[in-house]
Amino acid sequence: MERANAANGKKEIAVCMLIYLIISLCITALGIGILALLLYKLHLPLQVVSVVVIILYILSTGIAGFLAGKKMQVHRFMWGLLMGCAYYLVLLLVSYIYHGEGTVVAQSFLTTFLLCGGGGMLGGMLS
């Protein structure tokens, strides 16, 4: 009986984490859509676009980490870091699919990983 409860608990945690990851990706998609509209209408410089993308990474992973930390109640920063790393893996996958071999998440591989992981960890710590 305990094994069944433990298995159900792990399954529930996995489903929640997947939902939080999807929420963070939706936030990113919405933000990038708004950014594209602003870029089209206002002809924003590249530096502004780069800063907004960084803010989106941190905000999206921070929200996922916050939600994960609230759900788990223990080791919140670790769950936030996990959410940030999962988000980063999705970015890698999408980048690989879109660009193919050779260019994965542009040239800022480590920086993007640190932003995503750090944003998730920050969200977990604030939960």
Please tell me the pTM assigned to this model.
0.85
Please compute, for residue 11, the number of CA atoms within 13 A of its CA located in the half-sphere on the CB side.
Answer: 6
How many C-alpha atoms does 29 have within 13 Å on its Cβ side? Answer: 9
d(CA 106, CA 91): 11
pLDDT surpassing 80 at residue 105: no
Give the burial class of 40: count Cβ atoms within 10 A of its Cβ; 0-12 exposed, 13-18 middle, 19 or more buried: exposed
User: What is the maximum span of the chain, computed from C-alpha positions, in angstroms?
Assistant: 61
Which token pair is 40?
Answer: 């089209």
Asked if pLDDT for residue 55 goes beyond 80, the answer is yes
Containing 80, the helix (H) or strand (E) segment is helix 76-99
The tokens for 85 are 């790393």
pLDDT value for 46: 85
pLDDT for 88 equals 94
**Looking at the predicted structure, is the pLDDT value of residue 104 above 80?**
no
